[in-house]
Each structure stands twice: as C-alpha cells, then as structure tokens.
Structure 1
Amino acid sequence: MLWRGGADAELSGYLCQAANDSLTSQDREAIANWLTVQPWVTGHRLAPLSDAWYGP
C-alpha cells in the first residue's frame, strides 16, 4: 500500500494499492487495527472507501 497526502496539525491523505488495484474492506480493517496499536497515534478516523481518481 502507498499513502499520499499531507500534514498540518494532523495527517490526511489516501491509501492506495501499489498495483493499481482497489483497497478492500479487509484492508481498511487492517489499517484501522494497525493505527490502533501505534504508540504515536493519539487518534484516527478512517473515511469510507472511495476512488482516489474519481472521488466518492
């Protein structure tokens, strides 16, 4: 997976598959679980899956 985005007071951006494929709900769940256990992450919010090229 690749992350594209920026940071101000918080990080925001899109996670994308490196192989021109779409993320799945299982990928989204794995990302949420990973973020939960990171000591430097004080909170997170994942939006619903959407198409980074064409939008929601």
Structure 2
Amino acid sequence: MAMYESEHTKFMREWMEKHPEEREEQRKGRALWWDKPQDLETLRRNAESKVAQKPYPYQNEV
C-alpha cells in the first residue's frame, strides 16, 4: 500500500534535489528564527510569575 504524498511535498522534494545548496540556507533560516539557546533561569522565573487565570475571564462577579 502506497503512502499518500501531496503535490506540494513532491514538488519540494524534487526542487531540493535539484537545488542542494538550499539546504544550507534552510539551516541558516532555522538557526536565525528557531534554534535559540535557552536560559533556564529565565524560563524558571517566567513559569513562577504566571498568574492563575479564571476559567471564564469575561464573567461578571455576582
């Protein structure tokens, strides 16, 4: 049984085979926007400073 592959996926696979230099550009873009070093202390402080939200914030107090 063959797995479904969209036309877009096929296009991108073929295009990347024809343009292997784009792999490096793809890595650079990912590093620029996504692969950031994480500061564990900042993450911990952000988690501790969250304020509990009411289940339905727009309900009037009666």
Give the TM-score, by structure 1 length. Answer: 0.31
Larger RCO: 1 or 2 (CA < 8 Å, sep 6+):
1
Whose helix fraction is larger, Structure 1's or Structure 2's? 2
Whose strand fraction is larger, Structure 1's or Structure 2's? 1
